[in-house]
Structure 1
Amino acid sequence: MILLWIVLGVMTLAAALILAWPLFDSRRFKNDSSFALAVYRDQLAEINHDAARGILDETQARAAQIEIERRILALADAPKFQPAKAPAPALIIAMAVVLPLAAFGLYLHLGSPGLPGSPAQGLAESVAASPELQALQQAVEKAPTDPATWQALGEGLMAARRPSDAANAFARALALGDKGPKLQARYGSALVLAAQGRVDDKAKAAFTAALAADPTDPIARFFLGLAREQSGDAAGALTDWLALERDLPPDMPWHADLTQNIDRVARGLGKDPATLPGRSPAANAAPQPSGPSQSDMDAAAQMTDSERQAFIESMVAKLAERLKSEPDDLDGWLRLAKAYGVLGKREDERAAWAKAAALAPTRLDVQLDYANALIGGSSDLSKTLPPDFAATVTRIRTLAPDNPLGLYYGGLVARAEGDTKAAKEMWLKVLALIPEGSAQRQSLQHEIDSLAE
């Protein structure tokens, strides 16, 4: 142990000397001409690029070029080196000796040198304290080299609307060897969401890799088309999206979004969306608006709180009225259920989730949200549960037997039916996934202890 401290001390001293060495060289320092020259060259290239795209006219572009060329010529008269002021001895001593020793003493006082390292730190430490995400975090900590666990964590973070963290999880899964097209597409999607809709170079590379492995991947095809539009090639994006629209089944959940993007780009290019080649009558039909228009939003910004509340409720009422004539619109029911939840209308929220759950019996997220809505606001679940809760939990446990929320809900059903043994077995599985010392673990432990009573 003593040898280790000696080695670390020598390494620290060496690093301090390397950092402090430039302070001893008082002969001359290089000026920043090379950096400024690189900046001016980039500015010239940008001006030429803007001129080629028509953003700057010839007169503006030439005037800007002359000004930058004048600054470049001025750099030639600047000396290559400038004399440096000799540093004060106190500064040298502080940099080389006092600061490292002070940092070391602070670490001994505040740090934990004897604490062992924890696997999968960083991203895993930022995971929120929901039971499902905690279970995914625990899975990563137990198998930090398994790409499947990182991909599952990424999906959980996407569901929790944390695309930046999800992108990091997907990137770790890719680094561990999973190069599947679906994972590449999910990684790219997370990057786009994290960049607020911008398809950057990383996302474009991910979608390109996904398309190389699976040329039919719809997600990669859509976002690569979006990348073309964002780079200025709207015609190319339109061509790509028209081909994708022809290949997509009409019941694809985001088919309407694709159609809206095609119509938008077509109008921007001065074309009639209805007469684009190869479009089917269904595609040419104008999609129903899924939310308030821009004029509605502008008007809402000028309202008082009570007026805005009334406006929101009217928009929700319009959506509910539309769904009466379009009862198979799953996305519409999902939006309506969430809107009712925000408004605090629990009964309406449950009814909307019931419609969505009936339309998507194999979607785990929808079934979980429906189950949560069923018990939302309940004060005592120890003896009686809402109607349809047990059937919903059965569907959840069939879709994902080891899902933490499904196990917890299954324990609630078993306890209400008097099967405390089954409830305890399921809850102990959930308890093993929750970190020690957390409030969630204490609460669940209390429920497990109460089973004996």
Structure 2
Amino acid sequence: MILVWLVFAVMTLVTAVLLALPLFYTRKVKNEAGFALAVYRDQMVELGRDAEAGLIAPDQARLAQIEIERRVLALTDNPQWQPGRAPSHGLLIVAAVVLPLLGFGFYLLIGAPDLPAQPFIAEHAAPAATSPELQALEADVTAKPTDAKAWVALAAGYDAAGRAQDAATAYGKAVALGAQDAATLSAYGQAQLIANRGEMNDAAAATFHRALAVDPTNPTARFFLALGKAQAGEVEGALTDWMALEKDTPQDAPWRATLEAHIAKAAERLGKPAPAGTADAASGAAATAPGPSAADIEAAQAMSPEQQQTFINDMVGRLAEKLKSNPDDLDGWVRLARAYQVLQRSDDARNAWAKAAALAPARLDVQLDYADAIIAGRSDLDRYLPPEFVEAVGRVRTLDPKNPLGLYYGGLVARVAGDKAEARRLWNDVLDQLPPDAPQRAELQKELDSLLP
């Protein structure tokens, strides 16, 4: 490495010397203006002698004097110093052609031109969240790069880890390799939507339409295309589509509560009564998971504070062990996350909420709690936000673009991204929803004032 820098330093020095040589031709420089001025001075003297001797008329002498003076003044408009010799063409060729070619050849000899470019922002970006499971999926794709199923599995893994952009890329690979089923296409569209901060764009809409072309009953594509209409201001059309989807949705579908909540909110925005069965949907979607049983509470009340703490820790430990054998128990993960929060075990709570959020991507309350757990206790929210928080906010904004907490979190994301105008817009939307006497108004107003130039 030292040899490389020495060679580059020598080449730079040679180039500088070649370019500076013409500046040192001082003995070759002459003053043309001084010579011309001496000639004009002699002409003025001779003109005066001729006028005194009567060899030239006074008016002609005056005109000649004016002409000579004009030429003297004209000398100041031209460069007074001119090089006596132009720089050598050979030196210019060496500096402009030979040295760069030598440098390029030297780089090919000892450099690494096959390495991909690494911009500064990419080098210093926060590393993406990974896990042994994701590493195994990535290794599987590396071993089988043309296997569409391997790409689908990797995309699902990225999606569960909150890496929406990576998930969208992996789903795109799978679709290109022939995974054209409606489930894969709708998952691809959802990843594109979340990667776009929850806002419908042309790419995601086109993917959802492709999913419906394969299966016109696909609920994911139908739900999000209706959501796109709502985001575009077509609330009436969105409500119609969601109500049609509700008729085709089984009563025990895990995402039915979310669908009913959107129907109720759309009806409210249009000033219509909520359809039957959806009046309590908004609150029903956020129903809390069951806590300890009555027997547990009664037993705990008879204990000392130390015994109660031990009892709680044992209960939490048993729940955590139970979830190892039943990792798809959504209610169990929610209970465990809240228990960890009570015990002030922030890292454990965040991990438990991440599991719950992966199991319930359409549960608004779970996504909000997960987002809150990610940034709990952080004091640098004006400078940095974890990537998983940004992804979670994208899901929240997709599920309910008008949710006040989602709007506030969206403002945090926009501020860190440097988009102060978007942050102001989102936070003003929050203020519009807060009651006049809400204590949060003053704090939010401070946040808005900090965005002023």
TM-score higher than 0.5: no
Larger Rg: 2
- Shorter-chain TM-score category? 0.3 to 0.5
Q: Which has the higher contact order (CA 8 A, sep 6+)?
A: 2
The TM-score normalised by the length of structure 2 is 0.41
